[in-house]
Every structure is written in C-alpha cells, then in structure tokens.
C-alpha cells in the first residue's frame, strides 16, 4: 500500500510540474524545488547520455536493468506521466482563459513573473556591479525579440493567411491550418523552440511557457494538444527531449564556472518578459483569433480593477510557493 501511495505521489507531483510549465510565468523547476524533488530530477537527467542509448541498443536485459536503476528511470517515468496527463487535461482551460479573459489572465501572468524573480536572486552567491551588464543585455534582448515578433506585421500576416485559407477552401483545398502547421520550415522551428523552452524548465524561476510565448508558439502548441495534432506534438516533443539532455550539461558547466553571471543573465530575461506580457493591448479579430498589435495604457474601469486583483493574486501564489520551499529546506 505504501508503495502504491509513493507511486501516486510521484505522478501527482509530476502533474503539478506539468501545470506549472503550461502557465507562462510559473517555472516547473520552482515547482520541483517546492515539492522537494529538484535535485533528484537534475541528477537523474544528468545520468542520461550516449552510454544509455548504447546499453539499451545492446538488448541485454541485465545491462538495461542496471542502466535503468542508475538513471532512476522509474522516478523520471512517473514524473513524465503525471506532467503529460496534467498538460493534456488543462490545455483547454488555459486557452479559454486567455481568449475570454485576456487582460486579467495576463495580469495574473505578470504577477507570477515579477515575483518569480525572487528565486534566481536567492540563487546568487554574491552581487557585483558588473553583473548588471548581462542583466541589462538579456532584458534588452528579450524586449527586442518581443517587439520584432509582434505588432502590425503579425496582424498583416494573419490577414494574408486567412485570405489564402478562404481561397483554398473555395477551390476545394485541404485543411490549411494543418498544412501551415506541418510545413517543413515550421516543424524545424517548433523543434528548435521546443529545445529552448524545455531548457527553461530546469531553472527555478524561469518559465518554459514564457519562452514559447516569446517565440510565438505557445497558443499553437495548446491548440495542437486540443486537436491531437500528433505531427506537431511529436516534433516539439523530440526537440524538448534533446534540448533537455543537452541543456542539463550546459547549465551545469555555466553554473559551475560562471554561476552569478549566468543567473544575472537569466534574471534579465525574466525582467524583459514583462514587456511581452503587458495585459492591455489594441487588437483585431482575424479568423476568430485575437491578434494583439499595440500596447496601450489601461482605462480606469472595472476591467482594470479585475486585472490588478489578478496581478496581486499571481504575486501571492509565488509568495506561497516561496514559503513552501523554505519549509521544505528546513525539513
């Protein structure tokens, strides 16, 4: 009975990590630390390498069994199962909130990210003035990427895409949504973004979902989950898997050699992300899809009040996570 409860506990913890990763601003790494499994997860991922593949491909039961024990495969499998179940079951809810309650939802995300900065700040061993250089560079980089990928260009592209879709439907074309999503260039792009986004999950306080938002694939992946578009999902998942294994090693190297400089850069990324998640925007609806193209100042009305409350709620959530993490460290 205790073994069953232990297995269910790991699946549940994986589910919480999955939910954390699907929400921009909440880090799966932070959730893993709160749940007390962060070090075990990183240690297990570090053990996976080319040697693991060779032993599996040898098809020798003894070697495979030893390798599975060495990398703690049972633990990783249960965490992955829990995360996958949570992502599939909550994707529709996230899409609904973003489309129907845009401003309060993004206000909530901003609150999460703002207070999530506390986590990497506490990771720093000491602070020097020159650490501001990577911080500012990362902030400028993030804001610049957000500006370059947004605005009226995105709106114009969506309008052109919609016109092409309507024309092809009149000509008896196939489902253009899937054709666009499955183009070779787009699949390669999703593969790369998957590798980058999953890398963020390793870092406490860094949101992989924010990275997906930044590169413009967040809603596309959520819709792919809802529509069971296996081509997109498998491509993205392969990128995630390879990125996770590669970045674990790179992160260990950077944090060992240049710990505080690396953390400063990551903090800059988080600060810059707040620009991309500003709740109040001008928008147009194209093909039943909301396209934001300009940041605006909010009007003093009920929507502003609700958004501000959502922002505060996001801040409170992170403070609660922080307290749980402190209690776990004391235990």
Backbone phi, psi, residue 205, to 5°:
95, -10
Least confident residue range of 54-58, 69-73, 201-205, 207-211: 201-205
- At 76-111, the pLDDT tens digits run 999 999 999 988 888 778 777 877 888 898 898 888
Q: Residue 181 — very low, low, confident or very high, per pLDDT cuts 50/70/90?
A: very low
Smallest CA-to-CA distance from 318 within 100, 27, 13 is with 27
**Number of domains the chain is built from:** 1
Higher model confidence: residue 37 or residue 163? Answer: 37
Residues 240, 318: Cα–Cα separation, whole Å: 25
For 131, which DSSP code? G
Enumerate residues 6+ apart whose C-beta is below 8 A from 291: 154, 155, 158, 283, 284, 285
Whole-angstrom CA distances from 230 to 3, 282, 312 are: 34, 33, 37
Under the phi-then-psi rule, with left for phi > 0, alpha for psi from -120 to 50, and beta for the rest, what region is 18? alpha
Instruction: Identify the top-confidence range among 177-181, 248-252, 316-320.
Output: 316-320
Q: Which domain holds residue 220?
A: 2-330
Locate 200 and state its tokens.
């963020």
- At 276-296, the pLDDT tens digits run 778 887 765 555 555 555 677
The pLDDT of 227-242, averaged and rounded, is 88
The pLDDT of 51-75, averaged and rounded, is 85
Smallest CA-to-CA distance from 98 within 281, 256, 251, 249 is with 281
The pLDDT of 64-75, averaged and rounded, is 88
- At 123-150, the pLDDT tens digits run 788 888 888 999 999 889 878 866 765 5
The burial class, CB within 10 Å (0-12 / 13-18 / 19+), for 91 is middle
């Amino acid at each position: 009975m205790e073994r069953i409860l232990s297995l269910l506990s790991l699946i549940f913890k994986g589910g919480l990590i999955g939910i954390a990763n699907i929400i921009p601003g909440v880090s799966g790494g932070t959730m893993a630390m709160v749940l007390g499994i962060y070090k075990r997860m990183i240690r297990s991922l570090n053990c996976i390498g080319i040697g693991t593949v060779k032993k599996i491909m040898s098809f020798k039961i003894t070697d495979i069994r030893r390798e599975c024990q060495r990398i703690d495969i049972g633990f990783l499998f249960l965490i992955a199962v829990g995360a996958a179940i949570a992502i599939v079951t909550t994707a529709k809810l996230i899409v609904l909130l973003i489309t129907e309650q845009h401003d309060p939802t993004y206000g909530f995300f901003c609150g999460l990210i703002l207070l999530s900065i506390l986590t990497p700040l506490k990771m720093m061993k000491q602070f020097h003035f020159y650490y501001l250089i990577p911080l500012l560079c990362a902030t400028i980089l993030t804001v610049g990427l957000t500006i370059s990928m947004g605005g009226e260009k995105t709106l114009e592209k969506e309008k052109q895409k919609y016109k092409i879709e309507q024309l092809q439907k009149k000509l008896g074309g196939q489902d253009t949504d899937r054709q666009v999503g499955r183009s070779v260039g787009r699949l390669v792009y999703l593969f790369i973004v998957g590798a980058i986004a999953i890398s963020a999950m390793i870092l406490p306080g860094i949101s992989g979902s924010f990275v997906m938002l930044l590169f413009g694939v967040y809603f596309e992946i959520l819709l792919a989950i809802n529509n069971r578009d296996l081509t997109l999902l498998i491509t993205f998942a392969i990128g995630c898997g390879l990125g996770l294994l590669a970045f674990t090693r790179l992160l260990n190297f950077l944090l060992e050699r240049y710990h505080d400089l690396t953390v400063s850069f990551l903090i800059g990324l988080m600060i810059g992300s707040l620009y991309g998640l500003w709740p109040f925007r001008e928008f147009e609806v194209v093909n039943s899809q909301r396209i934001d193209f300009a940041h605006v100042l909010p009007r003093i009305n009920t929507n502003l009040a609700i958004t501000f409350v959502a922002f505060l709620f996001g801040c409170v959530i992170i403070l609660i996570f922080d307290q749980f993490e402190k209690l776990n460290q004391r235990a």
